[in-house]
Each structure stands twice: as C-alpha cells, then as structure tokens.
Amino acid sequence: MISDSMNQTLTEAALRAQNVFVYYGSTLAVRDVTLDIPKNKITAFIGPSGCGKSTILRCFNRTNDLISGARVEGKITFHGRDLYAKGVDPVEVRRRIGMVFQKPNPFPKSIYENIAFGARINGYQGNMDELVEQSLRSAAIWDEVKDKLKESGLSLSGGQQQRLCIARAIAIEPEIILMDEPCSALDPISTLKVEELMQQLKERYTIVIVTHNMQQASRVSDKTAFFNAEATDKGGKVGYLVEYDDTSTIFSNPKQEYTRDYVSGRFG
Amino acid sequence: MTTSNPQSFERESSWNIDQATFLKALRQRYTFDKVFATLALLAVVFSLFVLAVLLIDVFIDGIGRVNWSFLTSFPSRRPAEAGLVSALVGTVWVMVLVALITFPVGVGAGVFLEEFISDNWFARAIEINISNLAAVPSIIYGLLGLQVFVRVMFPITQGRSILSGALTLSLLVLPIVIIATRESLRAVPGSIRQAGFALGATRWQVVREHVLPLAMPGVLTGVILALSRAIGETAPLITIGALTYIPFLPELSLKGLQSPFTVLPIQIFNWVSRPQADFYSLAAGGIIVLMVVLLLMNATAIYLRNRFQK
Ligand SMILES: Nc1ncnc2c1ncn2[C@@H]1O[C@H](COP(=O)(O)OP(=O)(O)OP(=O)(O)O)[C@@H](O)[C@H]1O
Ligand SMILES: [Mg+2]
C-alpha cells in the first residue's frame, strides 16, 4: 500500500472518492469505496454483476441524482472540489464529466444533430460543422458517416451507434469520460475500434471504463479496480472495493486471493 | 420416450410426453387459435355493421337536406327554411377554444407530473384523482361550469357564453389529455433522457428537445380523443345554459366569445324532439354535418401526428 500512495503523488488525481457509501432507498448498495482516478489514464472497473461498478461510476457525474431514492455519502472530489457540496450544479458536473452507456443510445435524430445538441445547449459559439466533423473524426467514425450526416443516428449499426455516442460525448469537450460497458453490445471488430479510440482519447481525456471483459481491461487500462459483493446479514448484497492497483499488478500479481481468482476466471 | 428411431425429433426427456400426445395437444392449440381469431373477427364485423347501418340510415334521411342554404341559414320554425349556421359556427368556436385550452394545459400538466415531480405519495394521489376525474359524468362538469364559469367568473365570461361553454368542456376533457400525455411520456425510453442529461442538458432541455417530440404522436392521439368527446357533449352545455335558438353569429372578438351560443349536438337534439317529421330529416342532416366537422378535426390532428412521427 505504500507503493500505491507514492504512485499517486506522481500522477495527479482527476477524481478522488473517499469513503463513499451509496444507498438505494434504505438498502446499502456499495460501501466504503476510496480510490483516486489518475488524470489522462484509463482506469478499469471490473467485478461480478451487481457489485456496484455502475453505481460508483454514476456517482462521478451525479447521474445517481436522477434515480429516485439513490443517496451518496462520503466525499467525491473533482480537481479538489467536492462534487456533492452545496452550490455545485449537477448540470455543470455532467457537462465536464461525460458518460457513454452500455447500450448505444443515440437520439432518434440526424447524426449531425446528435453531435450538435450538446454543443448547442452548452452555448458553443464556434463553427458547428467543424465541431461535428472533428468530433466524428476523433471517434473514428467520420469516414463511415460523412455522406449521410442528415440520416437518423438509429440507421447506423450498433458499433457505429456506440462510436457516435462517444463522438457526442467528446463534442462538448469534457475532462473525463465515464464508460459503462461500452463494448458489451459490440462485435470484436467494433470493440477493437473503440479500444483503439480510447487509447487516442487518453491523451486529452481521463477515462473510466466498466467492463466484464478481462482481456479488455488488461489491454486498455492503466489502472484496475476490482469490486466484489458480499452477503449482508439481512440477506442482501453489498459491493465493496477489493483491490485497486496498476493493471499489470492486478492481472499478474494481485495482493488479494479474490482478485487472483476473479481475473483468472476461477471465481465463484 | 423412445430413442430407437434416430430420425425423429424425439429424444430422451424428463417431460414424459410422447409424440402422439404432443401432436394431439398441438392440433388442439391450433384450434383454439382459430376459434379466437374468428371471435375477434366477429367482434369487428359486428361493431362495424352496427355503425354502418347507423350511418347509412342517417345518410339516407339527411343527405337531401345538406345543401348550401342549410349550412348558411339560421334555425327557423319552418323546416324548409331552417339551417344550422349558428350551431355550426358555435361548434367551431367552442372546439377551437377547447383545443387551445386543453393542449397547453393538459400537456403542461402531464409533463410536470411525469417529468418534473418526483414519484411520491403526492404525485400518486394526483394521478389517481385525475383518473377518477376522467370517469366523472359530464353533467357534473356542467354543474361545476354553471357555478364557476357562468356565475363566479361572470365579469370575464359574461355568463352563458361561448367562453363558459369552452371552459366547461375543457375541464371535462383535460383528464384525457393529461393521461394520454403521461402515458406517452412514460413510453419514451429512459436511455434517451440519460443521454441528454449526460451531455449537461437541463431537465427542460431534455424534455423539450428529445422526450416531448417522441411523445407527441401519443399526445396528439389523446387530443383527438378529447376533442371527439367534447364535440358530441350536450348535457354539460345545456346545464350551463347554451340556448337552442341563436339567430345571429358571434363577432370575431372577445365580445364575440362572451355571446350566447349553441352547438350542433344541441341543435340536433332540438330538432329530434320536434313532432313534425320534417325536423327528423333536418336532424339527420345535422348529424352528417357534425360527422364531417369531426372528421376534419381528426384529420388535422392525424396529419400533425404523422408529421411528428417522421
Ligand atoms: N436504480 C436502482 N434502484 C435500486 N437498486 C439499484 C439500482 N441500480 C442498482 N441497484 C442495486 O445496486 C447494486 C449494484 O448495482 P450496479 O448496477 O451498480 O452493479 P454493477 O456492478 O454495475 O453490475 P453489472 O455488472 O451487472 O452492470 C445491485 O444490487 C442493484 O440491485
Ligand atoms: Mg453495470
């Protein structure tokens, strides 16, 4: 753990979660999560279904606010600023910390409008055509859609839709992009495209990705957090962070037995 | 339960059903399919048949009366000279006002209840009450309108006026629009909202740009239902004191909205209750005109809906 904290002083933390507890109604879903998301790195969240990966991810851009009954305790800071402090506007938080969802969810509007919407509502003043082209290029989908920008975003294949959603997220130039299983609905080729894309985006953005794909986590990420769920005495399950370290360490030499079993597929 | 014949679909299974039993049951299931389809078809034929008979009957009785002078004359004691221009204009006035009132108010209330208020006991109480309001007999609304719009709001409505009538009918059909709005908002996938919020949109921006346009076809269907209900209502308008004999047209102004009025269903009712046979055919003609107005109104709404669906 000493080497851990030394690492973290070297790279600046974009997001820092300290003793975060999340409740849905009166049930505790995730307990006591403390971790730093390093800037301009890719951090992967892995762990069995229901252990609270999405829940923690949603805390980072306050999309939990939209779920009635969800409650976050503890402290999450973004460049040192408490995200949940009074006076922090969740809309501004989400504008700076973007999100890509598990299921591609383009707006049922034109490809162009899918990109332009975020820019427009956030008061973008520059040339919209340029922004649209540039965002689609950054998401490695420009060549596939440049001749049909007026067509519906839904007319694209699943993999293209997901890259459109990534383009849409980066069009508003957030600092952090949260991705919740962005490749789970994609074929291997689209998955590789998205992974390559993440490597490029890493230069400008901080990325947090939830994935069930161990190879993906080990391929793309710099740091990996392994979550697990344990049964509570009330019969429910509560998620917690088991281990968080450099991806190479997690996959080759984890400190916890649980982690070793999970990443080697011997879990259960 | 035999695996001796490798060609058949049969295989070892814990179900203990042999092939013959399965096939017999399957034939029976297909029979049920056919029976149900036939019953459903009968239901369609029956309702269409009744409707067709009604329409044809009305058409035969009334089509001879529907001509230009019928549409442009005022009511009269002499059937040959009687027309329904004042009722027609009254209906158009009232319906336009009802549409103008119920659309913004109904959609606004629906959007608020579905998108802005959190789902607590208060919201659920309102929801149950609105559903109940939709089932309240229309005459009750007439009594309410009589007190509130005709009496209390007299300075604005000038009593038994077009305005009072339109407000009363609006109250009557508002629950329909609100419920339809909520249902169609609920049908919009949550992922669309999440996508909007994740881009830093405010609730209103998400609703305005993404959710409401997707819900609009359903909302307009609700408006069609609401207006179709309102156009045929007689009881609440009679309760608030719509007249049956209106020998003038309201002017196109606020003053006009405050003038007494009648509507087609009241005019038709009036003609039907006369003893002379001539008035029956007038009533049939009136029904034809009412149907045409209704169809035009719905056609407009369907046209709008199709434009939104694109
Ligand atoms: N909207 C919600 N309302 C109530 N409980 C929820 C909600 N979302 C998640 N939970 C609960 O919180 C716990 C963690 O869920 P979460 O979705 O974060 O898991 P996850 O690790 O992302 O799982 P998966 O890998 O299947 O996506 C689960 O027990 C789940 O039942
Ligand atoms: Mg999840």
Kindly list the residues from chain B whose CB atom is less than 8 angstroms away from the CB atom of residue A162: none
User: What is the domain extent for residue A67?
Assistant: 4-107+174-263
The closest alpha carbon to A259, from A35, A57, A45, belongs to: A45
Tell me what pLDDT residue A5 has.
45
Q: What is the pLDDT of residues A202-246, one digit of tens each?
A: 889 999 999 999 999 999 999 999 999 988 887 788 999 999 999
Tokens 């998205």 sit at which residue? A194
A37 domain-assigned:
yes
- For ligand 1, atom 14, which residue shows the shortest CA distance? A52
A12 domain-assigned:
yes
Q: What residue in B sits closest to A109 (Cα-Cα)?
A: B210
C-alpha–C-alpha distance, residues B69 and A246, integer Å = 89
A166 domain-assigned:
no
Whether the CB-CB separation of B75 and B245 falls below 8 Å is answered with yes
How far the first Cα of chain B sits from its last, in Å, is 55
- B121 contact A CB<8A: no
Q: Å from A95 to nearest chain B CA?
A: 4
Which numbered atom of ligand 1 lies nearest the CA of A45? Answer: 21
The closest alpha carbon to B270, from B258, B280, B260, belongs to: B280
Q: How big is the CA angle at A231 (ends A230 and A234), to the nearest 5 degrees?
A: 145
Task: Tell me which of A18-27, A99-108, A160-169, A183-192 is least confident.
Answer: A183-192
The CA-atom distances, in angstroms, between B94 and each of A229, B90, B243, B258 are: 63, 6, 14, 12
* A171: confidence class by pLDDT, cuts 50, 70, 90: very high
Highest-confidence range of A52-61, A254-263, B67-76, B116-125, by mean pLDDT? Answer: A52-61
3-state secondary structure of A242: strand
Yes or no, beta carbons of B201 and A99 under 8 Å apart: no
Ligand 1, pocket-test mutation among A21, A22, A24, most atoms within 8 A of CB: A24
* A2: confidence class by pLDDT, cuts 50, 70, 90: very low
3-state secondary structure of B242: coil
A113 domain-assigned:
no
Which token pair is A130? 């340029």
The closest alpha carbon to A104, from A165, A150, A26, belongs to: A165
Tokens 């049964």 sit at which residue? A231
Kindly list the residues from chain B whose CB atom is less than 8 angstroms away from the CB atom of residue A118: 199-201
Whether the CB-CB separation of A185 and A101 falls below 8 Å is answered with no
Q: What is the pLDDT of residues B14-48, one digit of tens each?
A: 777 788 888 999 999 999 999 999 999 999 999 99
Tell me what pLDDT residue B11 has.
64
Query: Does A63 sit in the ligand 1 pocket, CB within 6 Å?
Result: no
Ligand 1, pocket-test mutation among A31, A45, A53, A214, most atoms within 8 A of CB: A53
Which residues have C-beta within 8 Å of that of residue A165, sequence separation ≥ 6? A100, A101, A104, A105, A106, B195
Structurally, chain A folds into a number of domains equal to 1
C-alpha–C-alpha distance, residues A183 and A43, integer Å = 15
Ligand 1, pocket-test mutation among A33, A54, A64, A228, most atoms within 8 A of CB: A54
- A61 contact B CB<8A: yes
Kindly list the residues from chain A whose CB atom is less than 8 angstroms away from the CB atom of residue B119: 68
Q: What's the predicted TM-score (pTM) here?
A: 0.83
Which residues have C-beta within 8 Å of that of residue B56, sequence separation ≥ 6? none
Provide the sign of the torsion angle of the four alpha carbons A249, A250, A253, A256, taken in this order.
Answer: positive
A239 domain-assigned:
yes
C-alpha–C-alpha distance, residues B122 and B140, integer Å = 25
Tell me what pLDDT residue A7 has.
47
C-alpha–C-alpha distance, residues A105 and A114, integer Å = 10
Bridging pattern class, strands A206-210 and A97-100: unpaired
Domain B68-309 has CATH 3.40.50.2000: no
Which token pair is B28? 């029976």
Q: Å from A4 to nearest chain B CA?
A: 32
The chain-wide mean pLDDT, for chain A, equals 89
The CA-atom distances, in angstroms, between A164 and each of A161, A173, A251 are: 5, 15, 31
> What is the DSSP code string of A114-135?
HHHHHHHHTT--S-HHHHHHHH
Q: How big is the CA angle at A19 (ends A18 and A25), to the nearest 5 degrees?
A: 125
| pLDDT tens for each residue of chain B, 310 residues long | 444 454 556 566 777 778 888 899 999 999 999 999 999 999 999 999 999 999 999 888 888 888 888 888 888 888 778 888 888 988 999 999 999 999 999 999 999 999 988 777 888 898 899 989 888 999 999 999 888 888 888 888 888 888 899 999 999 999 999 999 999 999 999 999 999 999 999 999 999 999 999 999 999 989 988 999 999 888 888 888 777 777 778 777 777 788 888 889 988 988 888 888 888 888 999 999 999 999 998 888 888 888 877 6
A121 domain-assigned:
no
The domain ranges of chain B are 1-62, 68-309
Bridging pattern class, strands A176-180 and A97-100: parallel
| Ligand 1 centroid, distance to A183 Cα (angstroms) | 18
C-alpha–C-alpha distance, residues A261 and A18, integer Å = 27
C-alpha–C-alpha distance, residues A127 and A158, integer Å = 29
A67 domain-assigned:
yes
| Ligand 1 centroid, distance to B180 Cα (angstroms) | 31
Which numbered atom of ligand 1 lies nearest the CA of A212? Answer: 25
Which residues, listed in sequence order, are joined to residue A231 by a DSSP beta bridge? A237
Q: Å from A174 to nearest chain B CA?
A: 9
Residue A105 has pLDDT above 90, yes or no: yes
| Ligand 1 centroid, distance to A16 Cα (angstroms) | 21
The closest alpha carbon to A78, from A68, A90, A70, A66, belongs to: A90
Tell me what pLDDT residue A6 has.
46
C-alpha–C-alpha distance, residues A140 and A52, integer Å = 31
Number of C-beta neighbours around residue A6 at 10 A: 9
| Ligand 2 centroid, distance to A53 Cα (angstroms) | 6
Tell me what pLDDT residue B1 has.
47
Q: How big is the CA angle at B231 (ends B225 and B235), to the nearest 5 degrees?
A: 115
Q: What residue in B sits closest to A65 (Cα-Cα)?
A: B197
Q: Å from A6 to nearest chain B CA?
A: 33
| Ligand 2 centroid, distance to A211 Cα (angstroms) | 9
- B205 contact A CB<8A: yes
Whether the CB-CB separation of B242 and B261 falls below 8 Å is answered with yes
Residue A12 DSSP symbol: P
Tell me what pLDDT residue A151 has.
93
- For ligand 1, atom 16, which residue shows the shortest CA distance? A52
A164 domain-assigned:
no
| CATH number (domain holding residue A216) | 3.40.50.300
